[in-house]
Structure 1
Amino acid sequence: MKMFDVVVIGGGPSGATAANDLARAGCDVAFLDRAGRIKPCGGAIPPRLIEDFSIPDSQLVAHIQTARMVSPTGRSVDIPIENGFVGMVDREHFDEFLRARAVSNGASRVTGTYLRIEREAAATHVIYRDKATGAEMRLTTRLVIGADGARSVVAKTEVPGGDRIPYVIAYHEILKAPPKSASYDPIRCDVIYDGRISPDFYGWVFPHGDQVSVGMGTGLEGVDLKHATADLRAASGLSDCETIRREGAPIPLRPMDRWDNGRDLVLAGDAAGVVAPSSGEGIYYAMAGGRAAATAAQATLATGRASKLRLARKMFMKEHGTVFKVLRSMQDAYYQSDERRERFVSLCHDVDVQKLTFEAYMNKKLVNARPLAHLKIGVKNVRHLLGWVAPEHV
């Protein structure tokens, strides 16, 4: 039976990126993908993703120039995206582009459903159910990358802590986009901070060219996601738009403390919990996690040392850990009540907040070149949280 260097379980952005990087490095790699599933997602990707992962402009269905933040009382602030744009992708086509690219660079694509891992002294076997025949099949490999998404079966069964990741449930509806109007702009993303839509997260209206994603997320039980989304559609003037499809899925909001099993397996993407707090952004971090897992796998293959699998988490958290901590603090501080959300939107009127927020988003790191602006933002943040500034003050 053929022995692969690495088998990647999952063909989303994280798994496809890991497979592509490994194939380009000369590894014999296969990736297992279920096929037919479209991940619920707003679809926003920053310029750094486009540059780091060589995404062609043909994959972008919209170029967003403005972000609108909407408060519980309906006040809004439009934040221009200076010196660039936010790209929007359709996950149905974007994910397939990434998978096809991996195959074009030498990765083997296998279609089926992951079942379990079996081990012998000299090999690891990934057992899956073949989609075409329904039969149990196996892929024999030296290493495994688990990139099977949120609520990862691989993480739960193979890595300590994989069954204890907190989640937000995201739900959205893809609609046929209406013409530009007072309430809808095809180059503007709307983010709605309103407890009537989401009591602990936010709602969104994200243009996708001739389509638009409208949805919300919550980590609380008992919230009617479909009803909340219907209310959001009504408030945004989108009730009469044709509904193309409806999708829902969990989104993890805390990176796992450990990503490998110390032997032959490492996690990547949603399976490792690497979705950004506060924003719920996942595509860039999934692909960055896939690249980190591929790098760790190459180091393990080259040295024969399973300890090198730890490099994936170490590399990722060194690059993005501080940003995740800041975003977690922001979510804990501002998402707990409508009064706090109102203050958060007021804070977004501040030019320093706008500039540094989008510089950090576009480049995926905190900007250190403007320490005075950071200090000013810190002071303003404390004043808003303590109630020293009226929410309506801008």
Structure 2
Amino acid sequence: MISEARPYDFEAIVVGGGPSGATAAADLASSGRRVLLIDRADRIKPCGGAIPPRLLADFDVPDSLLTARISAADIVAPSGRRVDMRVQGGYVGMVDRDLFDPWLRERAVGEGAELAIGRVIDVVRDPAGGAVVRMRPAGSERSVTYRTRLLIGADGANSLVRREAFGPDRRPPYVFAYHEIVRSPGAGTADFDPAVCQVHYDARVSPDFYGWVFPHGDATSIGVGSAVKGFDLKAATRTLRRSCGLEDAETIRREGAPLPLKPMSRWDDGHSVLLAGDAAGIVAPASGEGIWYAMTSGRLAAEAGESFLATGDARALAQARRRFMADHGRIFMVLGFMQSFWYRSDKRRERFVAICSDPDVQRLTWSSYLDKRIQHRDPLAHVRVFFKDVGQMVRLAVQRT
């Protein structure tokens, strides 16, 4: 038990040094708070690495961290039909998480946060206020204990902080993602363009999600995701590599992890704990996009945490989720519907790819991705897309009868 007389070691401890945690730590430290950022050693999350260009401006990230600028997405149906979706009004940036995440952590340190590499063992609510975090530093057999006023859990889909604060049954639904980083082939390789992402909708690749081929300059991420128990993600990745002519490409590393696809209904415990990033379930359904949303949630967590630290009112912690859902809840709802309806069978996936060929769909898709808003600039385009979407659903219903 921690004595009530013992002072806080830190005003805030952030567990998890990915985009959400590193952003939260940097923002809190820059405001003058004493912050400890705890991250596990040699942790690289499997991730396609796609970011909208606005992330660079929103979070003051140098474009030197981009490994590629993608100009189009090649959408592939189960039949092999391809739809070329040219990025309209910008590009899709690519980052490598083994370089991007350390840069974010180093920036947090530059702002004044302390960085501890190791594994959190447990988290306990302190009756005197705040939380107690016990961790084992990397390379040590002994644990250390810290007391903090604010604890931010940004430690991934299997968040220990979430489990300790909310119980083991409180977790978002997720797919399991697996990818292989391979050496990008040279120019002229069949079915590979270093400026084009491939997205494969095919039950052989994934029965309920999709497969991807995302070029990163010298390296390329090839991966799949699925929530179906027993589905062989590694075999599906081999199938994808063969279909793309990358079967013999040099494999640099292999990674797998759960990918949450629905925001938690609550991110704070009403006391001193706040979740962010994957721990809060903040990954876009249908697309699996997470980096920009993770950093946005980290910033909102820092702002809510700052308000809590300044006032002592734990109700301030709820601001993070409330503000995030006000801005992005609607697009998460739309994407969730898309995934639940269109990803259920190859017949529906075939129809979905057909919809992707529509100019209105492409324009609204890219403008929403780049701006991170459901677009309202052309209401007639929304009407046209709605009726085309309904038409595809009706055709599917007629075919079943």
- TM-score interval w.r.t. the shorter chain? over 0.9
Post-superposition shift, 1:54? 1.2
The answer for unaligned runs of 5 or more in structure 1 is none
Q: 1:272 to 1:162 in 2, by over 3 A?
A: farther
Q: 1:365 to 1:162 in 2, by over 3 A?
A: farther
Pairwise mapping of residues 166-181 of structure 1 onto structure 2 (< 5 A)? 166-180=173-187, 181=189
CA distance in 2, matches of 1:122, 1:238: 55
The answer (yes or no) to whether the contact 1:174–1:212 under 8 Å persists in 2 is yes
Structure 2 match to 1:125: 132
Structure 2 match to 1:234: 242
CA distance in 2, matches of 1:103, 1:162: 34
Q: Which moved more, 1:161-170 or 1:294-303?
A: 161-170
Structure 1 match to 2:151: 144
Amino acid at match of 2:208: D
Q: Alpha-carbon deviations, 1:43-68, whole Å to 9, x = none?
A: 00011212211111110000000111
Amino acid at match of 1:106: G
Structure 2 match to 1:18: 24
Of all paired residues, the percent bearing the same amino acid is: 52
The alignment yields a C-alpha RMSD, in angstroms, of 1.6
Scaled by the length of structure 1, the TM-score of the pair is 0.96
Post-superposition shift, 1:159? 2.4
The answer for unaligned runs of 5 or more in structure 2 is 1-6
Count how many residue pairs are aligned between Structure 1 and Structure 2: 391
Q: Find 1:86's aligned residue among 92, 95, 106.
A: 92
Post-superposition shift, 1:123? 4.7
CA distance in 1, matches of 2:180, 2:288: 17
The answer (yes or no) to whether the contact 1:47–1:363 under 8 Å persists in 2 is no
CA distance in 2, matches of 1:129, 1:2: 19
Q: Which moved more, 1:133-142 or 1:267-276?
A: 133-142
Do residues 217 (structure 1) and 217 (structure 2) align? no
Q: Which moved more, 1:48-57 or 1:97-106?
A: 48-57
Do residues 165 (structure 1) and 177 (structure 2) align? no
Do residues 264 (structure 1) and 275 (structure 2) align? no
Do residues 248 (structure 1) and 256 (structure 2) align? yes
Q: Find 2:11's aligned residue among 1, 5, 8.
A: 5
Amino acid at match of 2:35: V
Q: Alpha-carbon deviations, 1:35-94, whole Å to 9, x = none?
A: 211110000001121221111111000000011100000000111112211110000010
Scaled by the length of structure 2, the TM-score of the pair is 0.95
Do residues 30 (structure 1) and 36 (structure 2) align? yes
Q: Alpha-carbon deviations, 1:232-272, whole Å to 9, x = none?
A: 00000001101111111000111100101100110000000
Post-superposition shift, 1:215? 0.7
CA distance in 2, matches of 1:134, 1:78: 54
Q: Find 2:78's aligned residue among 62, 72, 78.
A: 72
Post-superposition shift, 1:132? 2.9
Q: Find 2:51's aligned residue among 30, 45, 50.
A: 45
